[in-house]
């Protein structure tokens, strides 16, 4: 990857290549935070100059490498990047996500306050969305400690903050099967006025209930029949997340009809969810896997299929064949700890 850093790799190297290289470097070194990798990204900021896309890549890479370290130096660097580029939604978005990743699960009060203040001041939807998701990341695994922040976010007039609140419930109560948190999500799914909030609320049901996968299709099945496509998409994603890697029949029953939905992005969600559920499930265990693979292939190459559905089919092909059909997705480790 060296040719892509600092604009090498020939005269035709675009800043997007450099940005992608920094992001990839972050993925490779995730969970291995060392002074060397830190310095590499600090140099990346210096070399990026004022190029927005490169700063975006560096910020995301740095967030990934320093994830959950609660390293104040890195956090301050990302915060300064966000503050000093208040006019750039591209840099600000990545820096805000980076801040959330670094402080993952720390529930740091100072960070919460800074993010809330900046989100209230910002004019850019991308930055507000990134900050609201980062607030959710801060509350990872905190359960009722997060209730105050969740309450504050759900009362916001800004729909993007309420959307973040749904993810905050998902992060704080992931895998706990907490019935009050589940009820709260289902309440917002039917009562909020904004479609994005509704979709996020249903999706996060999957994060709460993944320890008992059979509960997920049961809980969201009436929403999968909703007249609102955003709720149908949310139901598909909840099943995809909550039943990932299980090959559950109940999941297949809920998702199969949605692959013929009249709305293109619902079809996309159903395809991706199916690939999550049936990853590493062989045709011997479930004969319908062969049908699914044919469906993904057909939709990928079908010129008449809508763009979003085709994109869903392409991503699904990637997921179901991940690592040469040799990897699975699990939200817990073998002894039951949340990943």
Average pLDDT over every residue of 140-156: 96
How many C-alpha atoms does 238 have within 13 Å on its Cβ side?
38
| Coil, helix or strand at residue 338 | strand
Answer yes or no: do 24 and 131 share one domain. Answer: yes
Q: Which of 89, 106, 138 is the last residue of a domain?
A: 138
What pLDDT, in 10s, does the model give residues 219-243? 999 999 999 999 999 999 999 999 9
Answer yes or no: do 219 and 333 share one domain. Answer: yes
Question: Cα(221)–Cα(183) distance, rounded to whole angstroms?
Answer: 15
Residue 194 within any structural domain of the chain: no
Answer yes or no: do 228 and 336 share one domain. Answer: yes
The answer to whether residue 123 scores a pLDDT higher than 70 is yes
Q: Which of 109, 138, 167 is the last residue of a domain?
A: 138
Residue 128 within any structural domain of the chain: yes
| Coil, helix or strand at residue 339 | coil
Residue given tokens 């059979």 in the structure block: 214
Single pTM value for the model: 0.93
Residue 334 within any structural domain of the chain: yes
Show the domain range for 41: 1-138
Phi first, then psi: what are they for 338, rounded to 5°? -70, 135
47 pLDDT band (50/70/90 cuts)?
confident
């Amino acid at each position: 990857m060296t040719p892509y850093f600092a604009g090498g790799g020939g005269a035709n190297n675009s800043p997007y290549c450099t940005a992608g290289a920094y992001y990839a470097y972050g993925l490779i070194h995730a969970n291995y935070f060392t002074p060397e990798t830190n310095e590499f990204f600090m140099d990346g900021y210096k070399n990026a100059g004022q190029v927005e896309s490169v700063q975006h890549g560096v910020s995301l890479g740095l967030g990934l490498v320093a994830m959950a370290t609660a390293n104040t130096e890195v956090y301050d660097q990302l915060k300064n990047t966000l503050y000093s580029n208040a006019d750039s939604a591209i840099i600000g978005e990545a820096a805000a996500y980076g801040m959330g990743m670094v402080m993952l699960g720390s529930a740091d009060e100072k960070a919460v306050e800074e993010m809330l203040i900046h989100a209230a001041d910002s004019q850019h939807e991308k930055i507000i969305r990134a900050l609201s998701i980062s607030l959710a990341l801060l509350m990872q695994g905190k359960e009722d400690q997060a209730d105050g922040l969740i309450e504050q976010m759900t009362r916001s007039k800004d729909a993007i903050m309420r959307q973040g609140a749904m993810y905050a419930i998902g992060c704080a109560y992931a895998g706990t099967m907490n019935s009050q948190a589940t009820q709260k999500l289902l309440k917002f799914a039917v009562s909020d006025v904004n479609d994005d909030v509704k979709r996020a609320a249903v999706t996060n049901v999957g994060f709460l209930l993944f320890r008992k996968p059979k509960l997920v299709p049961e809980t969201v099945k009436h929403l999968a029949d909703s007249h609102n496509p955003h709720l149908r998409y949310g139901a598909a994603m909840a099943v995809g997340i909550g039943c990932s890697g299980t090959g559950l029949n109940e999941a297949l029953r809920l998702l199969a009809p949605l692959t013929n939905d009249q709305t293109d992005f619902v079809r996309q969600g159903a395809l991706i969810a199916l690939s999550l559920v049936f990853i590493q499930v062989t045709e011997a265990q479930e004969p319908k896997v062969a049908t699914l693979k044919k469906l993904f292939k057909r939709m990928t190459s079908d010129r008449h299929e809508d763009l979003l559905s085709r994109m869903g089919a392409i991503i699904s092909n990637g997921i179901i064949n991940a690592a040469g059909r040799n990897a699975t997705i699990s939200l817990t480790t073998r002894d039951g700890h949340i990943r």
